[in-house]
């Protein structure tokens, strides 16, 4: 017989199928005990505790013996019987002798007189019928092979008095019967039943006896006539012999009936389990074919393997020429792949790393295929692998697609590298050209400015001479020359500043200064223009403003440019508002940087025509003018670009936007200290 798995649900189905509660008279319990070696005991305990209602499972009594046979399941499922769960049958000599005899004879065996664990202190004489089970697939031809393949026992427990009461014979007044077990290998007879225990035992008065040999035990039935002086009529010897023979035959028939009935029920359920197993294997076979996977399973303890038909198909084998174990399949892996497979398996068994590796497979016909080998070990409580199972997937199509994608990727990388090289070269050329342009502008602006200073000097000299001679017309001409030269010199200075800022040749001279003082200085410089246009300027600064660190001349240039633009675009008699307030700026440019630093904001608002929305993002670029400049306000498009460059060097920000009224507002935000400090 094969051993059932440790599955409580399956056991309860089995107990229900044999209908033990409706069973035979005297049958007390039906149980299954598994055989476990000492190294595997902790793993068994852990596996049983995973079952429902088995969290406190233990093997008792404690033993250091190499082999134990603890009861795992028992029926019927009653609280009284649960006390026997975990009892080691092998720890008790009488039960151990019955187990060893069953293994030796490969048959059902009866134990000698015992006391059942659930009976506790009542100690009612009892016995068990048991049958040894073996691991499927292992040879059991001789005693030694059966001992190696031994996996457990199924047993039925009986209370002797309840069992004999099934004879349904009233003996008390007619006949006294006493039954002894002759002791088996111990040689010591034991009384196991007495129909009249209240009477004194006197073996000399026995009138007749019968012997019954069953299940490796010898029962001696002794019959006694009523004691002399009894009111009952004495039985004559022929009648005693007849009654004794009938009772002995009935008892023997009862024993065989119990054996046959229980075996028939067990075999009927075994056939049901076989059908379920066949159906399960068929479902597994269909599923493995549908998922392109072959299934394998290997018992590490007994070196037994299962290999599905789909796995044989992937390798290119048939059931007729299939190897017997998984180890024989390694010849189909190239040497390098076999080394990788062994390494992955060793790491999985030793360290618990995933056993998942892609390998090449050389089929018997020489064809090369790609497979993905996966597996998972089943371990005992200390973590030792007991079994490993997994799957093999044919991934040849996927690997071919990956190789094709890899070729395309390599080709694409070559194209990208080539284009990147061209772009890098173009960027370098553009950077060099921009650098050359900036240097050219700086040099040319310097030369032009030198010449313009000469023109201004001579125009001023001409004005002085013309004025001295009273030549008003010539004085006017020299004044026009000076005016144009001054305007051209301003343009040259702007170009020179912009080129220096872009080329990085302009160095800042930071110092601690007050922003309010700079604004007031710029206002005083532009006061003649304000008066000429009848413009009103409102200056509002928050109290107790902190000083900031910056280049005085460059920041004054920014304020001057913004105020000049506001004056230029404001209508005559309009109003300009200048405000200074406290603010803050981000402390860095990192993605996760959420810090802030103290800052000041300077805003300049006018009452001009504003800036078209589509031009707000462009007005800080070089040589870009707002279309509002076409109204006659003029401008070169350099000043805002210069402002942005200077503010950026101070690690600040500048932005322009339109007010709800339509006029423009420019805001500069500067940190109180240099952000790089």
- What whole-number distance in Å separates Cα of residue 83 and Cα of residue 56? 12
Query: Under the phi-then-psi rule, with left for phi > 0, alpha for psi from -120 to 50, and beta for the rest, what region is 33?
Result: beta
Domain boundary among 260, 278, 312: 260
C-alpha angle 545/548/551, rounded to 5°? Answer: 140
Looking only at the bridges linking them, the beta strands covering 368-379 and 206-214 are unpaired
Do 245 and 343 belong together in one domain? no
Alpha helices (H) in 327-395, listed in sequence order: 335-351
Tokens of 251: 């008892």
Neighbours of 15 (CB within 10 A): 20
Instruction: Please report whether residue 3 resides in a domain.
Output: no
User: How far does Cα 634 stand from its chain's mean position?
Assistant: 68
Supply the pLDDT for residue 24. 55
What is the mean pLDDT, run by run of 10 residues, along the chain of 677 residues? Answer: 59 69 68 89 85 85 92 88 94 93 88 89 87 82 91 87 65 65 69 72 59 74 61 49 54 59 57 59 63 82 81 87 82 92 92 92 92 88 82 90 88 88 89 76 72 83 85 85 78 71 74 94 90 93 90 91 90 93 79 77 91 82 64 62 88 90 90 65
Which CATH number characterizes residue 490's domain? 1.10.287
Q: What is the pLDDT of residues 132-160, one digit of tens each?
A: 888 877 888 999 999 998 988 888 888 88
How crowded is the C-beta side of 203, counted as CA atoms within 13 Å? Answer: 7
Determine the angle formed by the axes of helices 396-469 and 472-503, rounding to 10 degrees: 160
Supply the pLDDT for residue 318. 86
Do 233 and 149 belong together in one domain? yes
Do 638 and 575 belong together in one domain? yes
Quote the domain boundaries for residue 323: 291-394
- What whole-number distance in Å separates Cα of residue 454 and Cα of residue 481? 12
Do 86 and 119 belong together in one domain? yes
Query: Under the phi-then-psi rule, with left for phi > 0, alpha for psi from -120 to 50, and beta for the rest, what region is 86?
Result: left
* H helix or E strand, kind and range, residue 40: none
Instruction: Please report whether residue 267 resides in a domain.
Output: no
Do 445 and 528 belong together in one domain? no
Instruction: Please report whether residue 237 resides in a domain.
Output: yes
Instruction: Please report whether residue 276 resides in a domain.
Output: no
Are 496 and 449 in contact, with CB atoms under 8 Å apart? yes
Do 415 and 352 belong together in one domain? no
- What whole-number distance in Å separates Cα of residue 278 and Cα of residue 310? 16
Instruction: Please report whether residue 277 resides in a domain.
Output: no
Number of DSSP helices (H) and strands (E) in the chain, helices first: 13, 24
Which CATH number characterizes residue 169's domain? 3.30.450.350
What residues contact 254, with CB distance under 8 A and at least 6 apart? 163, 166, 167
- What whole-number distance in Å separates Cα of residue 406 and Cα of residue 67? 58
Tokens of 90: 């092998």
Do 147 and 232 belong together in one domain? yes
Instruction: Please report whether residue 274 resides in a domain.
Output: no
Domain boundary among 329, 360, 394: 394
Are 371 and 361 in contact, with CB atoms under 8 Å apart? yes
Supply the pLDDT for residue 233. 45
Supply the pLDDT for residue 171. 45
- Burial, 31: exposed, middle or buried (Cβ in 10 Å; 0-12, 13-18, 19+)? buried
Q: What is the pLDDT of residues 261-314, one digit of tens each?
A: 655 655 555 565 556 556 666 666 666 666 678 888 888 877 778 888 888 888
- What whole-number distance in Å separates Cα of residue 295 and Cα of residue 299? 14
- What whole-number distance in Å separates Cα of residue 517 and Cα of residue 502? 28
Instruction: Please report whether residue 282 resides in a domain.
Output: no
Looking at the 3D structure of the chain, how many domains does it have?
4
Do 192 and 67 belong together in one domain? yes
Are 25 and 163 in contact, with CB atoms under 8 Å apart? yes
Supply the pLDDT for residue 604. 95
Which CATH number characterizes residue 622's domain? 3.30.565.10
Distances (CA, A) of 95 to 38, 88, 92: 19, 10, 6
What residues contact 337, with CB distance under 8 A and at least 6 apart? 359, 360
- What whole-number distance in Å separates Cα of residue 130 and Cα of residue 94? 12
Tokens of 392: 């093999």
Supply the pLDDT for residue 330. 87
Do 342 and 356 belong together in one domain? yes
Supply the pLDDT for residue 218. 78
What residues contact 296, with CB distance under 8 A and at least 6 apart? 305, 306, 307, 308, 311, 326, 375, 389, 390, 391, 392
Q: Is the dihedral of CA 640, 644, 650, 655 positive or negative?
A: positive
Do 22 and 138 belong together in one domain? yes
Domain boundary among 208, 241, 260: 260
Instruction: Please report whether residue 273 resides in a domain.
Output: no
Do 490 and 531 belong together in one domain? no
- What whole-number distance in Å separates Cα of residue 257 and Cα of residue 267? 15
Distances (CA, A) of 629 to 349, 563, 632, 637: 81, 16, 6, 9
Distances (CA, A) of 300 to 303, 304, 347, 385, 432: 5, 7, 16, 7, 72
- What whole-number distance in Å separates Cα of residue 317 and Cα of residue 333? 14
* H helix or E strand, kind and range, residue 603: strand 596-605
Tokens of 72: 């795992």
Do 318 and 231 belong together in one domain? no
């Amino acid at each position: 017989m094969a051993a059932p798995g440790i599955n409580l649900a399956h056991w309860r189905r089995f107990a229900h199928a044999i209908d033990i509660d409706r069973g035979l008279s005297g049958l007390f319990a039906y149980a299954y005990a598994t055989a476990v070696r000492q190294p595997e005991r902790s793993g068994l305990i852990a596996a049983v505790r995973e079952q429902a209602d088995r969290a406190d499972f233990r093997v008792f009594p404690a033993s250091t013996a190499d082999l134990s046979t603890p009861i795992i399941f028992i029926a019927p499922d009653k609280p009284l019987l649960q006390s026997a769960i975990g009892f080691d049958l092998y720890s008790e000599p009488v039960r151990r002798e019955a187990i060893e005899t069953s293994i030796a004879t490969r048959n059902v065996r009866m134990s000698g007189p015992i006391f059942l664990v659930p009976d506790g202190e009542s100690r009612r004489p009892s016995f068990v019928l048991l049958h040894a089970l073996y691991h499927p697939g292992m040879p059991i031809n001789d005693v030694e092979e059966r001992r190696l393949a031994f996996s457990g026992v199924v047993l039925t427990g009986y209370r002797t008095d309840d069992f004999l009461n099934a004879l349904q014979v009233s003996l008390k007044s007619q006949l006294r019967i006493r039954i002894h077990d002759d002791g088996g290998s111990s040689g010591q007879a034991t009384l196991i039943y007495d129909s009249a225990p209240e009477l004194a035992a006197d073996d000399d008065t026995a009138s007749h006896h019968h012997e019954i040999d069953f299940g490796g035990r010898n029962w001696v039935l002794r019959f006694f006539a009523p004691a002399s002086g009894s009111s009952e009529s004495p039985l004559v010897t022929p009648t005693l012999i007849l009654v004794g023979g009938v009772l002995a035959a009935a008892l023997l028939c009862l024993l065989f009936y119990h054996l046959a009935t229980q075996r028939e029920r067990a075999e009927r359920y075994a056939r049901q389990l076989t059908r379920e197993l066949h159906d399960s294997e068929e479902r597994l076979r269909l599923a493995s074919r549908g998922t392109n996977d072959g299934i394998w399973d290997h018992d590490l303890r007994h070196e037994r393997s299962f290999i599905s038909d789909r796995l044989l198909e992937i390798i290119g084998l048939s059931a007729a020429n299939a190897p017997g174990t998984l180890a024989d399949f390694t010849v189909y892996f190239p040497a390098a792949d076999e080394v990788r497979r062994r390494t992955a398996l060793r790491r999985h068994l030793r360290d618990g790393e995933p056993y998942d590796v892609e390998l090449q497979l050389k089929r018997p016909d020489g064809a090369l295929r790609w497979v993905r080998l996966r597996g998972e070990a089943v371990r005992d409580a200390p973590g030792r692998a007991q079994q490993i199972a997994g799957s093999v997937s044919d991934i040849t199509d996927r690997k071919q697609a990956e190789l094709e994608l890899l070729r395309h990727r390599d080709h694409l990388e070559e194209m990208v590298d080539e284009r990147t090289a061209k772009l890098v070269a173009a960027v370098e050329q553009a950077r060099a050209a921009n650098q050359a342009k900036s240097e050219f502008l700086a040099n040319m602006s310097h030369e032009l400015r030198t010449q313009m200073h000469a023109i201004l000097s001579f125009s001023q000299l001409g004005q002085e001479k013309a004025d001295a001679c009273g030549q008003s017309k010539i004085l006017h001409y020299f004044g026009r020359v000076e005016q144009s030269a001054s305007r051209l010199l301003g343009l040259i200075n702007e170009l020179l500043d912009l080129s220096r800022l872009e080329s990085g040749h302009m160095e800042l001279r930071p110092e601690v200064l007050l922003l309010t003082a700079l604004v007031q200085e710029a206002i005083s410089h532009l006061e003649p223009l304000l008066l000429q246009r009848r413009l009103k300027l409102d200056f509002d600064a928050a109290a107790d403003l902190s000083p900031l660190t910056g280049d005085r001349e460059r920041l004054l240039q920014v304020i001057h440019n913004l105020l000049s633009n506001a004056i230029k675009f404001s209508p005559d008699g309009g109003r300009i508002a200048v405000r200074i307030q406290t603010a803050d700026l981000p402390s860095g440019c990192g993605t996760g940087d959420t810090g802030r630093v103290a800052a000041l904001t300077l805003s300049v608002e006018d009452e001009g025509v504003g800036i078209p929305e589509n031009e707000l993002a462009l007005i800080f670029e070089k040589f870009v003018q707002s279309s509002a400049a076409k109204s006659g306000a003029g401008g070169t498009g350099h000043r805002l670009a210069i402002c942005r460059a200077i503010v950026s060097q101070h690690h600040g920000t500048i932005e322009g936007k339109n007010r709800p009224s339509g006029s423009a507002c420019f805001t500069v935000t500067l940190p109180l200290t240099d952000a790089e400090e």
